[in-house]
Structure 1
Amino acid sequence: KGSVILFTWTNFLLDDSYSFLGLENPLIISKDTNRKDSALDSRAIQDIASYDRLLPVILEYNKQAIKLDFDKSFFPCQVCFGEKLGSQCIKFLDCDHVYCKSCMRDYFNVQINEGNVKGLICPYDKCETQAHPCQVQELVNQEVFAKYDRMLLMTSLDQMVDVVYCPRPACQYPVSVDKESNFGNCPSCRYVFCILCQLVYHGLSPCKIKSDGLQKLRDEYNNADEKTKKLLEKRYGKQTIEAAVAECLTKDWLDQFSKTCPSCGASIQKIDGCNKMTCMKCRAHFCWLCEEYLPRNNPYSHYNTLNSPCRNKLFEGVNEFDDEDDLMWM
């Protein structure tokens, strides 16, 4: 106030400097440094190596100025509610929420040690802004950051549809594959495998199914829509899927209606008669109730012995029975 000269220069710099210097845009400086124009002051021309690098330099200087201003200001931490100097705080880049470094250091360490690398988000309610890796590196020690960096890489690879892992347990190296092919070749251990069934590459032959995957395949096929069923049939072969479904149905039926012979392991179905069973395969005797092996010379003693769990249960659960055991060997 009262400074006439300073006021005049301030207005000139704000309103007339661009036209006076012959600049059409404040961020674009003309490359024509040899033009003879009386309206252009020679002091407005800078001799720089590359005009293309001028804008990044200006933006970087602006970033540093903002950081310097941030470090000198005070901010309330949204976690501990203490007022801290900006140099003791971090600001999430996308949402501008500010927290003290002490609170965020504890927060980052807990999330990383629990394996939740995607959980390093702004603690503000309903905010989903992720912490930048450089902010994480600034707050945690080298060992924790190495763990974070490794898990972040693994998470990123898991989200890539054209990357799978080598199925060898001792390798697990990420392998880039072609979307149109089932062929995978590990660059680390040179293992050539099928990316669908994880077994040795079998060319155009249908994928082989492991015994413990039959139930899963049957459930997936039965619950799938027509499009998914076609994909499964193309992957495993229609005959393979039908055989898997039939085998699983047979296994379910055997688990529900049959018992295993304790001598040879054959599946036995009881149709009628008493609980003393005779295996038609190995002719061994066993009890239908407790599946205990019965002696050949006197199998019925099992139902007469005082300490036997099946005492007096020879005909338990039988409404109508014959003198001979009726059974079926599966």
Structure 2
Amino acid sequence: MHYLRLPGLQVILVSPCSPLGASLSSPAGGSNAAELLYTPTLNRRRRSLSNTSSSHPACCEIAVVYCRAALEIEQGMFQSQNSTEHHISFLPPLVLGFEFPADYPSASAPVFTISSKWLTRVQITALCRRMDELWEENQGNVVLFTWMQFLKEETLEFLGIQSPLEIQSIESESGQKQAADVSGEKNKAQDLDPRAVQEVDARADILTQLLDFDEAQQQKVFDGKVFCCGICYSEKLGSDSLLFKECQHVYCKACMKEYFEIQIRDGKVQCLNCPEPKCMSMATPSQVKLLVGEDEFARYDRLLLQSSLDLMADVMYCPRMSCCMAVMVEPDSTMGICPACRYAFCTLCKRSYHGLSHCIATADELRSLRDEYISASEEGKKFLEKRFGRRVIQRAVEESFSTEWLKDNCKQCPCCGTNIQKVHGCNKMTCSSCQKYFCWMCLGALSRVNPYSHFNNPNSPCFNQLFQGMEMDEEGFGSDEDN
């Protein structure tokens, strides 16, 4: 359901022959001749009316164009859902096509059709019948200007259209979309006038058409204005400038072209934002394509796709370095299959798929796994236990604590690598595994015959260091226990 806010309408008379001006003359001539100034319409078409004989053939369009600066569209499928608001400045024109019969205005009214993209045939039929009534009231006089005044000033009031204006999608019996209802009232069963034409494709979305039309017209208005570039401070036409839609900042295309090309070459495709400091408005891909060359845009498109895929939780890359193809992963599944090389891999550890078996963690992963597990939430801990197994997690925690304790309290034997803890005694140590002697200070191997010569040799780095760091008793002697 869509809602439009319409404070007013404007009538435009368009000449089908001259794009620069328009005049409409009644075939009655004389004092009844009428001329109207032309305002360029944004949607000009010529419609021929079928099977009408006329001694004064003419065809002209009267476009009812909304041209105010504030229009809101609220979109929602059901009333219970939240609506989405859109602000537009232009609506597609309401078009009146007509021909003058030979006996107009003395006896016959102009033959006409009314077409619209945003009114239903029921509403257009009501307009047609009201115009017939206006002819009956003014029979014998020129009526075209009266019709135009009616379309200009009374259309919304006559149709009961109030703000906000509701746009309802109408489905045919076959289930295909046939039209769009722009009214807050329910459709009533009534005969439709063949002169009422609704120009809406059954496959088209009326909201999309309204937004596209408004964007095109705003671009035309923008192209005709003069702006000062925020970078080079030169005055340029809007047709030579680029507008960031979110922030409304304007820069000339020459400056933005160079800016975009530098960012794309550096791989910063997510940084094509407005150059204004602290402004986060982003350029659209269509704006980038308009300014840069084909090669630069191809690189931009590729990097933008890659960065977008990196943010998607259900997309991964093939672990094979020679492939790196994007892979779609099914929810609640740990298996990914590359569509290019058909490699099946585990989405958790990136190794070959191992079914229900737990992921194999390397030594480096085990060391980091403990910190991740300890700092994780309950949900995170359950995920890690599911991925690696509870026993692996417990072993990782225990081994990491053991490794840290050994690193802080033990030293390895220089001969066999066994971890040795010094509880007390001198710095001449005996390995409990290989029974070799070594120095606790420099971890050098000692002589089997005279291990103390290492501490008595003046040239030794540990000279007189036999009792260095040893805790002394109250009498100044160390423990008598052997190392």
TM-score between the two structures when normalised by the length of structure 1: 0.79
The answer on 1:147 being equivalent to 2:311 is no
Q: 1:13: how far off? A: 6.4
Any unmatched runs of 5+ in structure 2? 1-22, 24-32, 40-61, 66-93, 99-111, 136-143, 145-194, 473-477
Q: For 1:242-321, list aligned pairs within 5 A.
A: 242-320=394-472, 321=478
Q: In 2, Cα distance between the equivalents of 1:146 and 1:30?
A: 46
User: Which one-letter code corresponds to 2:456 in the other structure?
Assistant: N
* Counterpart residue number, 1:164: 316
Structure 1 residues 19 and 103: alpha-carbon distance in aligned structure 2, compared to 1, 3 A threshold: closer
Larger RCO: Structure 1 or Structure 2 (Cα < 8 Å, ≥ 6 residues apart)?
A: 2
Query: 2:430 touches 2:436 (CA, 8 Å); kept in 1?
Result: yes
1:1-31 Cα deviation digits (max 9, x unpaired): xx99445888x86699769955485645859
Q: 1:231: how far off? A: 2.2
Query: 1:29 touches 1:51 (CA, 8 Å); kept in 2?
Result: no
Q: For 1:21-60, list aligned pairs within 5 A.
A: 21=112, 23=114, 25=116, 27-28=118-119, 39=132
Q: In 1, Cα distance between the equivalents of 2:375 and 2:203?
A: 59
Q: For 1:108-147, list aligned pairs within 5 A.
A: 108-147=260-299
Q: 1:302: how far off? A: 3.1
Q: In 2, Cα distance between the equivalents of 1:9 and 1:256?
A: 92
Structure 1 residues 166 and 14: alpha-carbon distance in aligned structure 2, compared to 1, 3 A threshold: closer
Q: In 2, Cα distance between the equivalents of 1:300 and 1:140?
A: 80
Match 2:225 to one of 73, 87, 99: 73
Aligned-partner SS, 2:286: helix
* Counterpart residue number, 2:363: 211
1:163-193 Cα deviation digits (max 9, x unpaired): 1112223322211111121111112222211
Query: 1:278 touches 1:325 (CA, 8 Å); kept in 2?
Result: no
TM-score between the two structures when normalised by the length of structure 2: 0.56
Q: In 2, Cα distance between the equivalents of 1:53 and 1:167?
A: 43
Structure 1 residues 154 and 298: alpha-carbon distance in aligned structure 2, compared to 1, 3 A threshold: farther
Structure 1 window deviating more from structure 2 (56-65 vs 171-180): it is: 56-65
Q: In 1, Cα distance between the equivalents of 2:205 and 2:465?
A: 97
Aligned residues: 319
Structure with greater proportional helix content: 1
Q: In 2, Cα distance between the equivalents of 1:294 and 1:96?
A: 81
What RMSD, in angstroms, separates the aligned Cα atoms of the two structures? 4.0
Max Rg structure? 2
The answer on 1:105 being equivalent to 2:243 is no
